[in-house]
Amino acid sequence: MFDVQSDQLQSYIDSADKQKSLYKRTLFIVSISQIFGGAGLAAGVTVGALLAQQMLGTDAFAGLPTALFTLGSAGAALFVGRFSQRYGRRIGLTAGFIIGGIGAIGVIVSAIINSIILLFISLLIYGAGTATNLQARYAGTDLANNKQRATAISITMVFTTFGAVAGPNLVNVMGNFAFSIGIPSLAGPFILAAAAYILAGLVLFIMLRPDPLVIARSIEANQKSNDTRASTTREYTEDKRGIIVGAAIMVLTQIVMVAIMTMTPVHMRHHGHDLGAVGLVIGFHIGAMYLPSLITGILVDKFGRIVMAIISGITLLVAGLISAFAPGDSMILLVIALSLLGLGWNFGLISGTALIVDSTEPSTRAKTQGTVDVLIALSGAAGGALSGMIVAGSSYSTLSLVGGILSIVLIPVVIWARQSKK
């Protein structure tokens, strides 16, 4: 079932060197897939709202594409998590990326035939790529020790940057290419997304052998059988708290980031910015979401998950304030605001993810991680859907202020976690 023979499993159980070697190899393979995955997710972020605005003829539902593919990612997160738990990371992640690529192809077709219904269905399916791209960060932690986990997460996210930054900056190129072959220009980035997601899936399917989660589960089972003194009662209580706090951190940061990010392209278009300028700002934003990851991971491992979660909330608050009060025609301030928005999300995601990994065991890890990512995806869907309504009913500034204020809820959450441990 797992493409790993029993003698091969035993060789990894018995050899710390082989475990270390597989840990490094897994990080390398997952990082390659993340380059393609990053390019795939960037399409929906950059032009999803603009495509819906064009096809629907109103701003009120411009946040709907983000809500839809984020909602789709919720179902996919559950599927990928449970599939990975049963069949291993390789099969689960491969399936998720391929399904996301199929969704991107559906978006292209919907733009060609101008079908709103097909667009919405395709965006839901496209969300599988987003969920898988996030779930891939867990694969690098399966064989990491407690002091390596945040760093392992960060390494895979750094490589996401290459594709995620390139994607928005290829908006005009892909738009022109699409137009030249008779496809609406706003659907152009989804051509890149389809190819990128499918390539990410193929990389994992071909190269992720042996499966790191399968090896980690075998090592855990062997350790338990050799340690009759192990007691899980106390650990279970600590694990439950850690899962709750880790999930809360990621849910809050996701709501704030998605809401403000979703309406920024529409806000910029209203103030006369062209697609190139939109791509540049979103490129900085996505770069800030992923590029600082290596440093963030080191900081999280060194100073702790709770400290970095508090810094996440403060950073998101500053981002919200700047985007709320920045003139709409100021590219510099928009770049700063969206960069801080991405950075605050980065701090929250890595510290929250590390808490989840700390609080789970290989035997249940993938399933729990998938369930937590469902909550993250649903919160992003809510943020995306409400963002358009808030802007239509009030303004982009109001949306940014609400997001900034919401972000500081992180602080009492993590203070509660710290006090509970005393």
Could you report the per-residue pLDDT of 94-120, keeping only the tens digit for each?
A: 999 999 999 999 999 999 998 988 988
Residue 328 counted as domain residue:
yes
Reduce the DSSP state of residue 319 to 3 states and report it: helix
User: Mean pLDDT across the stretch 159-164?
Assistant: 79
Assess whether pLDDT exceeds 80 at residue 42.
Answer: no
Assess whether pLDDT exceeds 90 at residue 70.
Answer: no
Q: State residue 214's pLDDT score.
A: 87
Q: Of 115, 151, 117, 156, which is closest to residue 134 (Cα–Cα)?
A: 156
Please report which confidence band the pLDDT of residue 417 belongs to, taking 50, 70 and 90 as the band edges. low
Assess whether pLDDT exceeds 70 at residue 419.
Answer: no
Assess whether pLDDT exceeds 70 at residue 12.
Answer: yes
The total of structural domains in the chain comes to 1
Q: Determine the Cα–Cα distance for residues 22 and 262; give it in Å rounded to an integer.
A: 38
Residue 3 counted as domain residue:
no
Tell me the pLDDT tens digit for each residue of 259-297. 999 899 888 988 888 878 888 898 899 889 888 987 999
User: Mean pLDDT across the stretch 140-168?
Assistant: 81
Evaluate whether 248 touches 359 at the Cβ level (below 8 Å). no
Average pLDDT, the chain: 85
Q: Note the helical H segments in 208-330.
A: 212-226, 233-270, 275-290, 293-303, 305-325
Domain that holds residue 195: 15-420
Residue 1 counted as domain residue:
no
Assess whether pLDDT exceeds 90 at residue 197.
Answer: yes
Q: Determine the Cα–Cα distance for residues 315 and 34; give it in Å rounded to an integer.
A: 25
User: Mean pLDDT across the stretch 27-34?
Assistant: 92
Q: State residue 238's pLDDT score.
A: 45
Assess whether pLDDT exceeds 70 at residue 205.
Answer: yes
User: Mean pLDDT across the stretch 256-261?
Assistant: 93
Q: Determine the Cα–Cα distance for residues 151 and 144; give it in Å rounded to an integer.
A: 9
Assess whether pLDDT exceeds 90 at residue 140.
Answer: no
Tell me the pLDDT tens digit for each residue of 390-403. 988 899 999 999 99
From start to end of 37-94, where are the E strands? Answer: none
Assess whether pLDDT exceeds 80 at residue 8.
Answer: no
Say what the alpha-carbon torsion angle 200, 362, 209, 166 is, to the nearest 10 degrees: 20
Residue 6 counted as domain residue:
no
Q: State residue 309's pLDDT score.
A: 93
Question: Does an H or E element contain 365, and which?
Answer: helix 365-393
Q: Determine the Cα–Cα distance for residues 419 and 203; give it in Å rounded to an integer.
A: 44
Q: State residue 231's pLDDT score.
A: 47
Which of 57-71, 171-185, 191-205, 257-271 is predicted with the least confidence, judged by mean pLDDT? 57-71
Q: State residue 216's pLDDT score.
A: 86
Residue 341: other Cβ atoms inside 10 A: 33
Q: Determine the Cα–Cα distance for residues 249 and 414; give it in Å rounded to an integer.
A: 8
Q: State residue 418's pLDDT score.
A: 64
Which of 10-14, 224-228, 272-276, 375-379 is predicted with the least confidence, judged by mean pLDDT? 224-228
Please report which confidence band the pLDDT of residue 367 belongs to, taking 50, 70 and 90 as the band edges. confident
Which of 46-50, 262-266, 267-271, 345-349 is predicted with the least confidence, judged by mean pLDDT? 46-50
Residue 146 counted as domain residue:
yes
Q: State residue 379's pLDDT score.
A: 87
Assess whether pLDDT exceeds 70 at residue 60.
Answer: no
Q: Determine the Cα–Cα distance for residues 50 and 36; give it in Å rounded to an integer.
A: 23
Residue 293 counted as domain residue:
yes
Tell me the pLDDT tens digit for each residue of 318-328. 999 999 999 88
More confident residue, 55 or 33: 33
User: Mean pLDDT across the stretch 312-335?
Assistant: 93
Residue 9 counted as domain residue:
no
The CATH number that applies at residue 63 is 1.20.1250.20
